[in-house]
């Protein structure tokens, strides 16, 4: 069977995508053939595209999508033809009209939640699920710092952490983003382009600093994030929006107060089928209860994957882009 896909032959800028027909084999015994109704676009895809994360070319990036099952492999019992499904962490293959996917990577998509909301947020929402419930269990009385608090992950993180009882401090680059973060659970947005976020955080916490820093910005914020943590606080470096953090001296963790540092990925936290299903369930429940509200960004045709990447990497955007097959 032929299907359309956005393929990258060589690492490069967003114009590296080529939109082409590819041949798909029938599903293997544990696989599904799915037809996408919406496809998520994430920073991870840009890391593969740009060469920051090594990958074999040619590659079809895309780890997240929503679609309908068209064929099932002979061992698949959990899903049937016609089922509406979603996946958050498939390690590439997503930027295509149809794809094959191992059934164990897929979760049922609740009928109450539209395709575009799921595609814009399942990977980010499940990331937040493990960040606030499993990597660290946020509890009443915690104070946390969230970088890029008005970003895709940031807005979900602020809402979920607030729901669990934390005081949430966030960094944002503009007044407009501060306003949005505040409306989504951020108690104290700091416009870091106008003031030093470490000094402002010290003032706001009366010098007590924070229990956890969630840093998806990376290179630009990493070292200063360590200065925001109380002794024995936890530094969660979970992304590289500004580039990957520079290598650093581990003794800094001792000097700054016996700090903990982790560099987690959703793949690890959703690796077991039971964890994938439970994480998705937790996130979908909070969406359905309206505890978490998601604003999808702009919708692009699959043939415009280049524009979707430009949009994602543009600092002014609010809401994550989504691709829809042409």
Among 106, 172, 210, 322, binds ligand NDP (CB under 6 A): 172
For residue 58, whether the previous peptide bond is cis, meaning omega lies within 30 degrees of 0, is yes
Q: Could you tell me which stretch among 27-35, 80-88, 216-224, 288-296 binds ligand NDP (CB under 6 A)?
A: 216-224
In angstroms, the CA 295 to CA 54 distance is 31
- Quote the strand ranges of the chain, DSSP E: 2-8, 17-23, 31-40, 65-72, 84-87, 98-102, 107-108, 143-146, 167-172, 188-191, 210-215, 229-237, 260-262, 299-301, 322-324
Q: In the chain, where does DSSP find H-type helix? A: 43-50, 115-133, 152-163, 175-183, 197-204, 222-226, 251-255, 266-269, 273-288, 305-313
Measured from the CB atom, the residue of 14 and 27 that comes closer to ligand NDP is: 14
Q: Could you tell me which stretch among 28-36, 137-145, 171-179, 278-286 binds ligand NDP (CB under 6 A)?
A: 171-179
CB of 108 to ligand NDP, least distance (A): 21
Q: How far is CA 177 from the centre of its chain?
A: 18
Two tokens, residue 277? 């299903």
Among 38, 103, 217, 322, binds ligand NDP (CB under 6 A): 217
Q: Does 242 bind ligand NDP (CB under 6 A)?
A: yes
Q: Does 296 bind ligand NDP (CB under 6 A)?
A: no
In angstroms, the CA 156 to CA 171 distance is 14
Q: Does 315 bind ligand NDP (CB under 6 A)?
A: yes
CB of 127 to ligand NDP, least distance (A): 4
Q: Does 133 bind ligand NDP (CB under 6 A)?
A: no
Two tokens, residue 59? 């590659």
* Binding track, positions 31-70, relative to ligand NDP; x by CB under 6 A: -----------xxx--------------------------
Among 110, 264, 298, 324, binds ligand NDP (CB under 6 A): 264
Two tokens, residue 41? 């676009």
Among 35, 220, 224, 307, binds ligand NDP (CB under 6 A): 220
Q: Could you tell me which stretch among 11-19, 94-102, 248-256, 258-266 binds ligand NDP (CB under 6 A)?
A: 258-266
CB of 31 to ligand NDP, least distance (A): 24
Q: Does 110 bind ligand NDP (CB under 6 A)?
A: no
Q: Does 222 bind ligand NDP (CB under 6 A)?
A: no
In angstroms, the CA 18 to CA 16 distance is 7
In angstroms, the CA 129 to CA 182 distance is 20
In angstroms, the CA 19 to CA 6 distance is 4
Among 150, 158, 180, 234, binds ligand NDP (CB under 6 A): 150
Q: Does 280 bind ligand NDP (CB under 6 A)?
A: no
- Torsion, Cα 315 316 319 324, to 10 degrees, reads -80
Among 98, 177, 184, 309, binds ligand NDP (CB under 6 A): 177
Is residue 284 within 8 Å of residue 110, measured between CB atoms?
Answer: yes
Q: Does 124 bind ligand NDP (CB under 6 A)?
A: yes
Helix axes 115-133, 273-288, angle to 10 degrees: 110
| Site of interaction with ligand NDP (CB under 6 A) | 42-44, 123-124, 127, 148, 150-154, 172-173, 177, 216-217, 220, 238-242, 264-266, 315, 320
């Amino acid at each position: 069977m032929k299907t359309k896909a956005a393929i990258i032959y060589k690492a490069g800028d967003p114009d590296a995508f080529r939109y082409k027909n590819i041949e798909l084999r029938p599903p293997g015994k544990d696989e599904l053939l799915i037809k996408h109704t919406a496809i998520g676009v994430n920073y991870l895809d840009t890391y593969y595209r740009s060469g920051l994360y090594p990958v074999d070319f040619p590659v079809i990036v895309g780890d997240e999508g929503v679609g309908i099952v068209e064929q099932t492999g002979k061992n698949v019992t959990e899903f049937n033809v016609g089922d509406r499904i979603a996946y958050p962490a498939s390690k590439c293959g997503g930027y295509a009209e149809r794809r094959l996917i191992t059934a164990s990577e897929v979760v049922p998509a609740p009928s109450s939640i539209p395709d575009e909301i799921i595609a814009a947020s399942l990977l980010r929402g499940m990331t937040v699920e493990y960040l606030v419930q499993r990597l660290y269990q946020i509890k009443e009385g915690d104070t946390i710092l969230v970088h890029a608090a008005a970003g895709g992950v940031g807005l979900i993180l602020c809402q979920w952490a607030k729901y669990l009882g934390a005081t949430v401090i966030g960094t944002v680059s503009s007044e407009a983003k501060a306003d949005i973060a505040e409306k989504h659970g951020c108690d104290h947005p700091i416009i870091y382009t106008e003031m030093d976020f470490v000094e402002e955080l010290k003032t706001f916490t009366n010098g007590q600093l924070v229990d956890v820093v969630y840093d998806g910005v990376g290179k630009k914020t990493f070292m200063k994030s360590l200065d925001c943590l109380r002794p024995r606080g936890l530094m969660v470096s979970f992304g590289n929006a500004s580039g990957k953090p520079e290598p650093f001296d581990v003794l800094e963790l001792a000097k700054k107060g016996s700090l903990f540092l982790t560099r987690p990925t959703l793949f690890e936290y959703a690796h077991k089928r039971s964890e994938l299903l439970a994480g998705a369930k937790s996130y979908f429940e909070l969406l359905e209860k309206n505890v978490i509200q998601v604003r999808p960004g702009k919708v692009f045709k699959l043939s415009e994957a280049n524009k979707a990447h430009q949009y994602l990497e543009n600092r002014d955007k609010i809401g994550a882009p989504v691709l829809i097959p042409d």
